[in-house]
């Protein structure tokens, strides 16, 4: 049974932004409909726009009609908006504006008889994180007679130095126990299930090591281009946008040791150990590339340099492939291959575990009895589930082998998976930091990838609608491996 949140005020900076509209409002509304949030609960949206509470509720109702699962325009949606949602302008974001936010919070708490329990969610561009954190701290909104929690969206820094500076600023006003660095990938049910899959099933965990596994592949493919995010993306690139956070989180969950307990710090301790055990990435172990024009899903699409908002001479990578080596007892000698890119052939997040072949083939004739290695594919999105390949004998005379599979799909057993933001917001409300990234984890990740940000890695091209450049295939061929067919 889920723990019920204490009464509190949920304050969103960036309350008229796309994240609020598409994700946070629908998630909060869904939690309320499920009874996961009590009646003594208020949302205060904070943004620069001049707007009344009534106008904001109309805006929020349209957002729910478009993005929530409930029936569009229902009276229930309207009732919730009118009872829960409030708006406060931040104007110039100076001290007077933050004092006005503080006063509005206090007024809402008195009006609804809510103790001083507060969640501050920074749904903002990273450039304004420091000013917002300082502004909250300087007017005393980092402390209260109840509890105070601060949620920070990714990206958390642009490199090791900026991440360290941001952590230092946070710790000036907030204790680490108050800080929730959110990576929405960790809210996905299938990502969380990686821990259950490994540590609740000894049949797999006993094989989860260098003795039985030959390689691990983690692929996150996107069919979309940069779209309206070109202004941000052209300054970031795939390494910052995807690898340093999302793919690294998957890497740690796949490679970590069993924690001493299923608790936030125990799990995060093991994740940090993985990152600290990764050997420096070799120059021949990385591929950067940028998509050219091509065809995705039957539609002609432009190349990255033709996208609106992209500099015409940009060398920003939209594809990254890496070979990592984890120098510890469990994984020594097992290559981990990571790849992600935009405008790829398919939208997919998948982890592939390649097991070792038998040392000797006992079956003849050898040309008909080629033994394929067992392969476990864990699909995290879409069509969530897993597929374990194994060898069988074809019926009939003689000895001929065929690869078959054991499959499980979530859709066959569960009607609907909750949105990741629902899970993560509920965890913030109930003070569970298990699925959130700790300060040392962020810095360990940046320390690993920062050498690749120097510009020393050349950027090649790949045709949109493919799985990336040929150089990514050659990256695996150096070890006699190849990418799993997706």
Which positions are annotated as active-site residues? 246
Position of tokens 């992209």? 310
Rounded distance, CA 323 to CA 276, Å?
A: 16
Copy the structure tokens of residue 271: 């994740």
Position of tokens 């990336």? 468
Give how far the C-alpha of residue 282 lies from the chain's centroid of Cα atoms, to the nearest Å: 26
Using alpha carbons only, what angle is made at residue 108 by residues 105 and 114, rounded to the nearest 5 degrees? Answer: 100
Give how far the C-alpha of residue 475 lies from the chain's centroid of Cα atoms, to the nearest Å: 25
Using alpha carbons only, what angle is made at residue 118 by residues 33 and 175, rounded to the nearest 5 degrees? Answer: 130
């Amino acid at each position: 049974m889920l723990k019920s949140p204490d009464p509190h005020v949920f304050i969103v900076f960036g309350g008229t932004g796309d994240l609020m509209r598409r994700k946070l409002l629908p998630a909060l509304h869904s939690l309320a409909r499920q009874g996961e949030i009590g009646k003594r609960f208020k949302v205060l949206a904070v943004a620069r726009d001049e707007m009344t509470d009534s106008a904001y509720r109309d805006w929020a109702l349209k957002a729910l009609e478009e993005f929530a699962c409930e029936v569009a325009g229902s009276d229930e949606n309207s009732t919730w908006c009118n009872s829960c949602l409030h708006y406060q302008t931040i104007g110039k974001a100076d001290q007077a504006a933050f004092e006005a936010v503080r006063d509005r919070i206090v007024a809402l708490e008195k009006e609804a008889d809510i103790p001083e329990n507060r969640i501050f969610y920074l749904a903002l561009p990273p450039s304004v994180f420091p000013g917002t954190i300082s502004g909250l701290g300087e007017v005393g909104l980092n402390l209260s007679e109840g509890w105070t929690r601060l949620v920070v969206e990714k990206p958390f820094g642009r490199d090791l130095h900026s991440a360290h500076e941001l952590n230092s600023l946070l710790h000036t006003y907030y204790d680490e126990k108050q800080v929730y660095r959110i990576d929405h990938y960790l809210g996905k049910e299938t990502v969380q299930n990686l821990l259950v899959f490994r540590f609740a099933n000894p049949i797999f965990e006993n094989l989860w090591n260098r003795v039985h596994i030959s390689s691990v592949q983690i692929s996150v493919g996107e069919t979309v281009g940069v779209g309206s995010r070109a202004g941000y993306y052209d300054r970031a690139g795939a390494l910052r946008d995807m690898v340093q956070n999302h793919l690294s989180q998957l890497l740690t969950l796949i490679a970590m040791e069993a924690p001493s307990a299923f608790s936030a710090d125990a799990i995060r301790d093991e994740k940090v150990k993985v990152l600290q055990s990764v050997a420096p990435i070799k120059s021949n172990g990385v591929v950067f590339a940028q998509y050219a024009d091509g065809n995705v899903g039957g539609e002609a699409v432009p190349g990255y340099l033709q996208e609106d908002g992209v500099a015409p001479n940009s060398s920003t990578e939209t594809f990254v492939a890496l070979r990592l080596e984890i120098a510890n007892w469990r994984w020594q000698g097992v290559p981990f291959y990571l790849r992600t890119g935009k405008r790829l052939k398919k939208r997919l997040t998948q982890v592939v575990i390649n097991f070792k072949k038998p040392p000797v083939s006992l079956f003849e004739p050898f040309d008909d009895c080629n033994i394929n290695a067992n392969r476990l594919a864990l699909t995290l999105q879409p069509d969530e589930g897993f597929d374990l390949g194994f060898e069988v004998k074809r019926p009939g005379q003689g000895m001929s082998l065929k690869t078959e599979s054991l499959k499980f799909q979530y859709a066959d057993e569960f009607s609907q998976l909750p949105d990741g933001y629902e899970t993560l917001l509920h965890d913030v409300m109930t003070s569970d930091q298990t699925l959130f990234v700790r300060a040392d984890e962020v810095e360990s990740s940046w320390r690993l990838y920062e050498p690749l940000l120097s510009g020393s890695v050349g950027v090649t091209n790949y045709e949109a609608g493919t799985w990336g450049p040929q150089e990514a295939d050659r990256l695996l061929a150096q070890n006699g491996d190849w990418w799993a067919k997706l």
